[in-house]
Structure 1
Amino acid sequence: METRFKDILAAHQRISRFIHKTPIFTSHTCNAQTGRSVFFKSENLQRTGSFKLRGALNAVLTLKEKDESLKGVITHSTGNHGQAVAFAASLSDLPCIVVVPDDTPTVKMDAIRSYGADLVQCEPTPTSRKSTCDRLAVERGLSFIPPYDDYTVIAGQGTIALEFLEAVPDLDAILVPTSGGGMVAGIAIAAKAIKPGIKIFAVEPHGKMLGGCLQAGGRLWPNPPQFLDTIADAIRTQQIGHLTWPIIMQHVEKEVFTATSEDIIVGMRFAFERMKLVVEAASGTVIWAAMSDKMRCMDPGMKNIGVVLSGGNVDIDKLPWLP
């Protein structure tokens, strides 16, 4: 099994009545500074506050189509995917458990509970998240909805590209914040099917090592999996998923943008101050990348740049530039 373009088209038909067709913004200041036309796809204004709803909805609704006796769903998440699965489960009247690291921002845990899910906290490691989730799934007979490494989730995230290229068909490149790789994989499949010459760039937090892995053509990450020390809590998973990895190898540029926490703050502040948009740190990575010296030095033929603002679930009492 794999995710194909037709699966993304089917996912869009399946979920479109439940999601927002998120707006696209431009910034004169950004365009002037970059010398390019930059278009911001604002998934921070999606229901539940992030792009994650697309994949979660497609996964839950697909499970319901296949099994009407579905007992419920479970997932693990740093927040955004958990909120999305909880909301998707509520639409389908399904019980839901979300396993979260105990250092997850309070604003995200409160939101998960608000959608009716039961919250279970675990140690802040990928291994603890997985083992806790696996145990509860078996004990309670629940179906697991992976955060990224699942073909129905990947297909749901790919619907972003359908909307983006419908609105801005002349895009030459798209910048995508990257954690486990579900969004960048889905966007890459759809965008390349619609416009084969388009470039898809992954943007990562410092320490992720994705650029080195892509250039080497292999998974160089240390085991066991770990979380990165970054202010971008939504994308702190170091390793790309095993299902998303070959898709990214095939369709995503080997040149990766790597953002430090200081870079991320620059991007976030630009959105807050100049665009009047509330974005989380993961979105700050791609704003910074679009305006970076690295982008300025790239092919001037890339005139129209798409930027995916992945989410806006930020604790406004703990903005990273506040003392």
Structure 2
Amino acid sequence: MAVTISEVRAAYIRIHKWIHKTPVITSQTLDAMAGRELYFKTENLQKTGAFKARGACNAVFMEKEQNPQSAGVVTHSSGNHGQAVAYAAKCASLKCSVVVPKGTPKVKCDAITGYGANLVFCEPSPQSRKDTCAKIASETGQAIIHPFDNYNVMAGQGTIASEFHDQVPDLDAILVPISGGGMTSGIAVATRGLRPQCKVYAVEPLGKDLQRSLEQKCRMWPNPPQFIDTIADAIRTQQCGDLTFPILCDYIESKVFTVTDDQMIEGMRLSMERLKMVVEAASGAAVYAAVRGMSEMDPSIRKVGVILCGGNVDLDMLPWVNRSTSYQ
């Protein structure tokens, strides 16, 4: 099985009643700073506060369709996917368990339990997340909904692009914050099917080193999988998935935008000051790349889509408070 534009279209039919068609916003000030037209897809306004609701709904609803006697679903997450699976399970009337690392922001943990899911903490490592999730699945019979290495999740995330290309039909490029690669894969597949001349670029935190792997078409990351030391908890997974990586190699540009913590903070502040949007550090990464990094891009690219992937920010822990930053 793989993901095609047909699966993305089917996902949209399946989930559209349970998600928002998020608006696209613009800013003349940010356009002037970037030297191009920027179009911001506001997934921070999505159900559960992040794009993850799309993929989670598609995967959970398909579990219910294919297994009417399902014992429920379980997942592991840095927070946003966990909220989304908890929301989708509530909509589907399924039991749900969510594994999160110790130290996950309280705002995300509260949202998970608020949707009625059983919250389980694990050690802050990818392997602990995976092992704890597998143990729960074995004990309960609940189906695992992987946060990114799941074709149904990818198809759901691809609905971002199906909406975006309808809202802005002549985009030249889309910038996507990347962690495991589920959203980037889904957007890239949908874009290839709907507007193949539009390029898709990944935006990563410093330390991920995706470009080297894309250029070699080989997973160059160390094992066991690691988390990156970054303020962007939503994109701290270093490795892309076994299922997502081949799609990324085939569908996105090998050029990757790498963003530091301070640059993400600048992107967050620009979003709040110029767009009046509360966004997470992962979204700030894409904003910074769009506004400050466009000189690295092909000058023929004039219309650029930017994914504001989430807005689940703990307002008591804004990263620029009591933090020295190097930007002007």
**What band does the TM-score fall into relative to the shorter chain?**
over 0.9
Aligned residue number for residue 255 of structure 1: 255
Aligned residue number for residue 49 of structure 1: 49
Aligned residue number for residue 20 of structure 1: 20
> Which is worse superposed, 9-18 or 295-304?
295-304
Instruction: Note if contact 2:78-2:234 (Cα within 8 Å) is conserved in structure 1.
Output: yes
Name the amino acid aligned to 1:25. I
Aligned residue number for residue 120 of structure 1: 120
Aligned residue number for residue 145 of structure 1: 145
Equivalent positions of 1:164-183 (< 5 A) are 164-183=164-183
Q: Which runs of 5+ in 2 are unaligned?
A: 323-328
Q: CA deviation at 1:322?
A: 0.4
CA distance in 1 between counterparts of 2:174 and 2:254 reads: 14
Q: CA deviation at 1:121?
A: 0.3
Instruction: Note if contact 2:30-2:274 (Cα within 8 Å) is conserved in structure 1.
Output: no
Deviations 1:243-265 (A, max 9, x none): 00010000100000000001100
Aligned residue number for residue 274 of structure 1: 274
Deviations 1:171-205 (A, max 9, x none): 00000000000000000000111111110000000
Name the amino acid aligned to 1:307. V
Q: Which runs of 5+ in 1 are unaligned?
A: none
Name the amino acid aligned to 2:310. G
CA distance in 1 between counterparts of 2:20 and 2:183 reads: 17
Report the secondary structure of 1:16's partner residue: helix
Aligned residue number for residue 303 of structure 2: 304
CA distance in 1 between counterparts of 2:294 and 2:303 reads: 12
Count of residues paired in the alignment: 322
CA distance in 1 between counterparts of 2:104 and 2:32 reads: 37
Name the amino acid aligned to 1:38. L
Aligned residue number for residue 36 of structure 1: 36
CA RMSD of aligned residues (A): 0.6
Deviations 1:285-308 (A, max 9, x none): 00000012x412422211100000
Q: CA deviation at 1:25?
A: 0.5
The alignment-based identity, stated in percent, is: 57
CA distance in 2 between counterparts of 1:275 and 1:252 reads: 27
Please state if 1:313 is matched with 2:312: yes
CA distance in 2 between counterparts of 1:35 and 1:24 reads: 19
CA distance in 1 between counterparts of 2:265 and 2:4 reads: 36
Report the secondary structure of 1:74's partner residue: strand
Report the secondary structure of 1:31's partner residue: helix
